[in-house]
Amino acid sequence: MHEQRQPARTARPRHYLMCRPTYFAVDYCINPWMDPAKPVDTALAVLQWERLYDLYQELGHTVELIEPVPGLPDMVYSANGATVHDDRVLVANFRYAQRAAEAPAYRAWFEKAGHTEVKAAEHTNEGEGDYLVVGGRVLAGTGFRTDPAAHAEARELFGVPVISLTLVDPRFYHLDTALAVLDDDEIMYYPAAFSEDSRRTLRELFPDAILADEADAEVFGLNAVSDGLNVLLPQAATGLADKLAARGFRPVGVDLSELLKGGGSVKCCTLEIRHRATGGHR
Ligand code: ARG
């Protein structure tokens, strides 16, 4: 229908790890979205999560599951469990005691799945919550959760440039709540979530980035997952959906309202397992 000139987008099949929200609850408060006084409908959370799980598979992606652990209500946010690049796994080391036991659970999953390069992190880092792989580099958040010293640890393990970005708005406490990777060199982000210096860095590295406004950021529109063509994002982020469509992406709105009560959405529920390129065999 549209005769607009747009880059040709292609989806690349991905490998994800998710965790069913069987024991999801908001029993404690470690970010401004969590209010233990507000009721949470765990059964609805499961239904909403299952829709996302199904969508990925309908789009041709491989999704593996980690067994949820009773007493770890935030384990559904699998993005926080680790960061995987070129088959190297850097396991999370959580900031708050309430989530600390998730780290050994994720570590055990990767080891059992046959991953041979699995590192338990020395410094505090919350996995892909704060580490986003963009092509041959890693954007790394700090300010609320991940320790700046962890960025050097990631650089050493992955052997790629790690660009530190400082978050300044407590509503956007993880990098993946303020910035989403769309393709190897394309991102979208909410500038006001970053320090002045980090905004400058982002402008220099990604002059053509899609910029989100506050309304879209507040409904977690940036907590999105892209396969290069399809961009799954909270359905309330309609402004971002329009901007994505204008760039030739295919926005797919998802309703994860229950999981938003814990301070997470699409991306938080999705850990990407990135494999080493196999020299043109795929
Ligand atoms: N309640 C969780 C926490 O505060 C939410 C984590 C959201 N995950 C994310 N990747 N942003 O730790």
Dump the DSSP string for 64-94: EE----TT-GGGG-GGGGEEEETTEEEE-B-
The candidate with the shortest Cα–Cα distance to 270, out of 15, 12, 9, 72, is 15
**Half-sphere exposure at residue 257, Cβ-oriented, CA atoms within 13 angstroms:** 9
User: Residue 244: how many CB atoms within 10 A of its CB?
Assistant: 24
CA of 14 from ligand 1 middle (Å) equals 22
pLDDT digits (tens, 9 = 90+) for 124-175: 999 999 999 998 999 999 999 999 999 999 999 999 999 999 999 999 999 9
Q: What angle do CA 246, 247, 253 make, to 5 degrees?
A: 70
Tens-place pLDDT, residues 250-263:
999 999 999 999 99
Residue 278: its pLDDT value, please? 75
Q: Which residue among 80, 99, 169, 258 is best mutated to probe the pocket of ligand 1, counting the most ligand atoms within 8 A of its Cβ? A: 80
274 phi and psi angles, rounded to 5 deg: -100, 125
Report the alpha-carbon distance of residue 79 to residue 99 in Å, rounded.
13
Asked if residue 78 has pLDDT above 50, the reply is yes
Q: Whose CA is nearest to atom 9 of ligand 1?
A: 268
- All structural domains of the chain, each given as residue ranges with its CATH number in brackets, are 15-272 (3.75.10.10)
Question: Which of 31, 49, 169, when mutated, tests ligand 1's pocket best, judged by the most ligand atoms within 8 Å of its CB?
Answer: 31
Pocket test for ligand 1, best of 268, 269, 271 (most atoms within 8 A of CB): 268
Q: What is the mean pLDDT of residues 106-133?
A: 98
Q: Rounded CA gap, 96 and 177, in Å?
A: 18
Establish whether residue 74 lines the binding site of ligand 1, counting it when its CB lies within 6 angstroms of any ligand atom: yes
Residue with tokens 């959906």: 241
Active-site positions read 174, 268
**Ligand 1 centroid vs 180 CA: distance in angstroms?**
15
**Residue 268 CA, ligand 1 centroid: distance in Å:** 6
- 3-state DSSP call for residue 139? strand
The answer, yes or no, to whether any atom of ligand 1 lies below 6 A from the CB of 263, is: yes
Global pTM value: 0.96
Q: Which residue's alpha carbon is nearest to atom 8 within ligand 1?
A: 268
Note whether 167 and 193 are within 8 A (CB): yes
Answer yes or no: is the C-beta of 179 below 6 A from any ligand 1 atom: no
Please say whether the beta carbons of 204 and 62 come within 8 A. Answer: no
